[in-house]
Amino acid sequence: MDKIASRPTSTFYAALNFLSNSEDSTKEWFEDFSAAVDKGELGLYKSAQGVEIYYRYLNWDSDFFAVPTYRIDYSYIPDEIRNSKEPFEELFAHLQSQHREFYLFAEVPSEDIQSLSSMTAAGYRLIESRLTYFNDQIQEFDLSRRYATRQATVDDIGALTKTAIEAVNIFDRFHADDFFTTNEADRFLAKYTENSVLGFADEVMVPAEGSANAFLTANYVNSPRCLNHKKIAKMVLSAVATERRGWYVKLIGEMTQKFKEQGVDIAFMTTQSTNRAVLKVWASFGYRFGKSAHILSKHCRKI
């Protein structure tokens, strides 16, 4: 396991590596990773060449889509192996021997070239490219123009889910991957939005007046020890109906202002690299590039 901690690309698997000293964040990530291995939460496929692929069975996703769903959390490839597709093919074959159908995906930092090239050579398809932006000066933020907002309630769920589906981003993983039907992807988005209101999100912000047909969710997240337990928040999901044009900018500004009022030090969010308009909005509020990653998938579905 020590070889994993010392591998340079492991640095980029720490969720908030862009915010802290790389050595400290890698150490904390490795502690959590090792604990998951010890608890049996991660399966391990090890090839004859020394490639190690750690993967996880996702209970909620598997139940929701009624298809066994797995995620590759980390791949160790010895430096001397420049392009090793066989272990990823073998892992797929191993799962195929256990399931009539299944879905396997991975989120790989852009810096992990070895894993990316090996997976693509083994037939894993690029589904989504993600960019994370952050602002570590939230307490200096000053929103000059304010807009009235409120917290969504259970009475808003119908309007929220309708808006989420109608304003869907076709580049998100579930809509971009042909493993999922449009109906399945929409159903997932609606359930995720509903669950956000029911407590999965700490904040679900909507305009104070009129229908809740524009919204932005956020969570307050655990801070790594290496950040001295600074208060950190993450914006998660947003959707804006056509008739609420312009409200995305307002919600980003208002949520950032709310973070400031809640004592947040750092905020971040992730979107697809294709989402140029959103990236422009974030930049206008002082958010800047933090990291990039790619989603790849390979699956077996019987028709």
What is the tens place of the pLDDT at every residue in 123-157?
999 999 999 999 999 999 999 899 999 999 999 99
Instruction: Categorize the per-residue pLDDT at 80 as very low, low, confident or very high, splitting at 50, 70 and 90.
Output: confident
Alpha carbons 303 and 294: distance in angstroms, whole number: 28
Q: What is the dihedral of CA 115, 174, 287, 211, to 10 degrees?
A: -170
Question: Is the pLDDT at 82 greater than 80, yes or no?
Answer: no
Question: Is the pLDDT at 22 greater than 90, yes or no?
Answer: no
Q: Which CATH number fits domain 135-291: 3.20.20.70, 3.40.120.10, 3.30.70.120, 3.40.630.30?
A: 3.40.630.30
Q: According to the model, what pLDDT value does residue 302 have? A: 72
Q: Where in the chain is the domain with CATH 3.40.630.30?
A: 135-291
**Domain covering 2-123: architecture:** 3-Layer(aba) Sandwich (3.40)
Question: Is the pLDDT at 83 greater than 80, yes or no?
Answer: no
User: What strand order describes the sheet that includes 288-300?
Assistant: 43-46, 52-57, 69-76, 102-109, 288-300, 125-135, 266-272, 232-240, 214-221, 203-207, 149-151
What is the separation, in whole angstroms, between the first and last Cα of the chain?
A: 41
